Chains A and B, each alone.
Chain A
Amino acid sequence: AQSVTQPDARVTVSEGASLQLRCKYSYSATPYLFWYVQYPRQGLQLLLKYYSGDPVVQGVNSFEAEFSKSNSSFHLQKASVHWSDSAVYFCALSIGTNTGKLTFGDGTVLTVKP
């Protein structure tokens, strides 16, 4: 069975600093990979997705992620964070096409200090 691991439950960074949130997956083939963000008292919103091709994908709000097949990873990055980026970030995968059946990691709580 497939799984997603986000090894950092909480990350705190200062405003303006760079950010990396880690995501590791387990699946026998290359899955479709996603990062979602959840702001307080809201539903999840899609940040970016990876289907195939260029391992670096761009998302909304200057986020990007890099897929590594050799490391089974899909880390999320941002060059300079803003206080408004404080939220919970979820990595997720899908093993099938044309589906919203996602397997989620447990999430990383990001706090950006002013």
Chain B
Amino acid sequence: EAAVTQSPRNKVAVTGGKVTLSCNQTNNHNNMYWYRQDTGHGLRLIHYSYGAGSTEKGDIPDGYKASRPSQENFSLILELATPSQTSVYFCASGATGHTGQLYFGEGSKLTVL
């Protein structure tokens, strides 16, 4: 059974609209991450969290907010979506002390028109 689940899996939004991508993990990992993947490119880190109530900026945080209300849940929020944010977004979890060993969800494809 999937240990990292994302919703929605597909989303079409309008420019200027608000988008929330949700992630739930049952791995009981402290660390969670949001990456985006653009066609033909690797993943880039947007935000991450080391535990409930904490969020940190990754390499490309502009235009995004994150929320970690609990150990299991980590959301990515686009307050004012733009077409440049059209991408596939991946959530991942990782255990403390396990450098680089991440468990990814299946991705959320976001299209901003």
Interface of A is mostly: loop
Q: How far is the CB of B25 from chain A (nearest CB, A)?
A: 12
CB closest chain-A residue, reference B107: A43
Q: Is the CB–CB distance between B41 and A106 below 8 Å?
A: yes
Nearest CB in chain B to that of A99: its residue: B99
* Chain A: CB-nearest residue to B9: A41
- Pick from B4, B41, B44, B96: contact of A43, CB below 8 A: B4
How many angstroms from the CA of A1 to the CA of B53 in the assembled complex? 29
Contact partner, B102, options A98, A102, A105, A107, Cβ 8 Å: A102
What chain A residues lie within 8 Å of B90 (beta carbons)? 43-44
Are B97's CB and A98's CB within 8 A?
yes
Q: CB-CB < 8 A to A44: which residues of B? A: 43, 90, 92, 102, 104
- Judged by a CB distance under 8 angstroms, whether A114 is at the interface is no
Q: B100 touching A43 by the CB < 8 A rule?
A: no
Residues of B within 8 A of A101 (CB): 33, 45, 48, 58
Is the Cβ of A94 less than 8 Å from the Cβ of B106?
Answer: no
Residue of B nearest to A1 (CB): B59
What's the Cα separation between A99 and B78 when bound, in Å?
A: 25
A107 contacts across to B, CB distance below 8 A: 40-42
Contact string against B for A residues 96-110, beta-carbon threshold 8 Å, 1 for contact and 0 otherwise: 111111111111000
CA distance A9 to B105 in the complex (A): 24
Is B104 in contact with A100, judged by CB distance below 8 angstroms? no
The stretch of A13-21, A45-53, A60-68, A69-77 that contacts the partner chain: A45-53
8 Å CB contact of B40 from A4, A102, A106: A106
Closest 4 CB pairs of A and B: A104-B42, A43-B104, A100-B94, A94-B100
Besides A41-B106, A100-B99, A104-B42, 17 new A-B residue pairs in contact (Cβ under 8 A), listed by A number:
A4-B42, A42-B107, A43-B92, A43-B106, A49-B100, A94-B100, A97-B99, A98-B96, A98-B99, A99-B99, A100-B31, A100-B48, A100-B101, A101-B45, A102-B45, A102-B100, A104-B43
Name B residues whose Cβ lies closer than 8 Å to a Cβ of A: 4, 31, 33, 40-45, 48, 58, 90, 92, 94, 96-97, 99-102, 104-107
